[in-house]
Amino acid sequence: MKPLGVAVIGTGFWGRNHARVFKELEETDLKAVCDVDAERAGKVAKPFDVKPYTSIGKMLKRKDIEALSVCTWSTSLAEEATKALKAVKHVLIEKPMATEPKQAEKLIKIANDQGLHLTVGFLMRFIPGLQHVRKAVENKAIGKIVCATAKRVSEWPERVGDVGVVKDTAIHDIDVMRYLFNEDPVTVYAKTGSMKHAKFEDYAQIMLTFEDGKSAFIESNWLTPYKTRTLTVTGSEAIMKLDYITQELTIEDAKETVQPRYQWQEPLKLELKHFANCILKKEKPLITGIDGLKALQVAEATLKSSASGRTVKLK
């Protein structure tokens, strides 16, 4: 099969990785990169021997580019993705997809009207251990699911902070909880605040409730001097613990502790391979624009709950 012609817009910390992986995959053929910062665009384009652009307009005119990763600042993701969709390109948009749910709704409508793929960069879903946990929940291998706890804390991120920790960081776990429970939360109660960030919250504790008394707790911050990214899922018969960084999975019940072995795999590679294959084979992606919109709605409700001090109903 002919590889998919792809490009990347936004060649900062994360976009650089998208470009590298697209270059490595046999399913994709990296054609160009774009960044408003000419030096950054040039630095990424040179080793990959592709054309750098400083504005998306000219790049989108190219017919050999069929799909794009949008990796710009969170506040410009929706605008640049709109341009790409309007130019009839398939889009992988990085999280948080948009800063407001209304922008996400517009993106979904344009993609649907044009019959294009729109997927969101919820990378955690491509960590093999999480897929194992999801299956164990579905097959009731750990009994009846009771609750899940996620911790995603680290020190201050170096990159631009144009959204707070909820839309930047906790949104990964909001998506994971929707994926694990295979349903949308019913209520959210949250406490967020700012210790160092002048404009946005830099810590958040979020409690989500689901049907039948199930619940999830998410702790996120940019205040912890070391990086932790973990998930613990409690079932009536066993507990599963996943370390997203090492990809180690531990399953404990009353009798034993087991650690299924998975070969470490680069989640971005799995994510971009899936994106390309879905387009080439005309299949529905694991993550749709609706998943992005729903996570964003929960993130908005989180901020609303913290501001009002009340539980926010989501349905």
Ligand X SMILES: NC(=O)c1ccc[n+]([C@@H]2O[C@H](COP(=O)([O-])OP(=O)(O)OC[C@H]3O[C@@H](n4cnc5c(N)ncnc54)[C@H](O)[C@@H]3O)[C@@H](O)[C@H]2O)c1
From residue 233, alpha-carbon distances to 214, 230, 239 in Å are 11, 10, 6
Quick check: 9 binds ligand X (CB under 6 A)?
yes
Q: Are 300 and 167 in contact (CB under 8 A)?
A: no
Quick check: 72 binds ligand X (CB under 6 A)?
yes
Q: Which residues of 215-250 are buried (b: 16+ CB within 10 A; e: fewer)?
A: bbbbbbbbbbeeeebbbbbbbeebebbbebeebbbe
Quick check: 166 binds ligand X (CB under 6 A)?
no
Please give the DSSP secondary-structure letter assigned to residue 141: B
How far is it between the farthest Cα atoms of the chain? Answer: 62
Dihedral in degrees, nearest 10, Cα atoms 181, 288, 13, 86 = -160
Interface with ligand X (CB under 6 A), residue from 3, 76, 106, 239: 76
Quick check: 173 binds ligand X (CB under 6 A)?
no
Q: Site for ligand X (CB under 6 A): how many residues?
A: 26
The region of 13-21, 127-135, 228-236, 240-248 touching ligand X under the rule CB under 6 A is 13-21
Q: Are 275 and 67 in contact (CB under 8 A)?
A: yes
Phi-psi region of 213 (alpha: psi -120 to 50; beta: other; left: phi over 0): left
Q: How far is the CB of 124 from ligand X (least distance, A)?
A: 8
Quick check: 91 binds ligand X (CB under 6 A)?
no
Half-sphere exposure of 170 (CA within 13 A, CB side): 32
Quick check: 185 binds ligand X (CB under 6 A)?
no
Interface with ligand X (CB under 6 A), residue from 44, 50, 77, 218: 77
Interface with ligand X (CB under 6 A), residue from 27, 29, 35, 291: 35
**Shorter beta-carbon distance to ligand X: residue 37 or 253:** 37
Q: How far is the CB of 140 from ligand X (least distance, A)?
A: 30
d(CA 174, CA 195) in angstroms, rounded, equals 22
Number of CB atoms found within 10 A of residue 57's CB: 10
**Shorter beta-carbon distance to ligand X: residue 25 or 97:** 97
Q: How far is the CB of 10 from ligand X (least distance, A)?
A: 3
Q: How far is the CB of 58 from ligand X (least distance, A)?
A: 12
**Shorter beta-carbon distance to ligand X: residue 16 or 117:** 16
Interface with ligand X (CB under 6 A), residue from 123, 136, 165, 296: 123
Quick check: 175 binds ligand X (CB under 6 A)?
no
Binding site for ligand X (CB under 6 A): 9-15, 34-37, 40, 71-74, 76-77, 80, 94-95, 121, 123, 159-160, 168
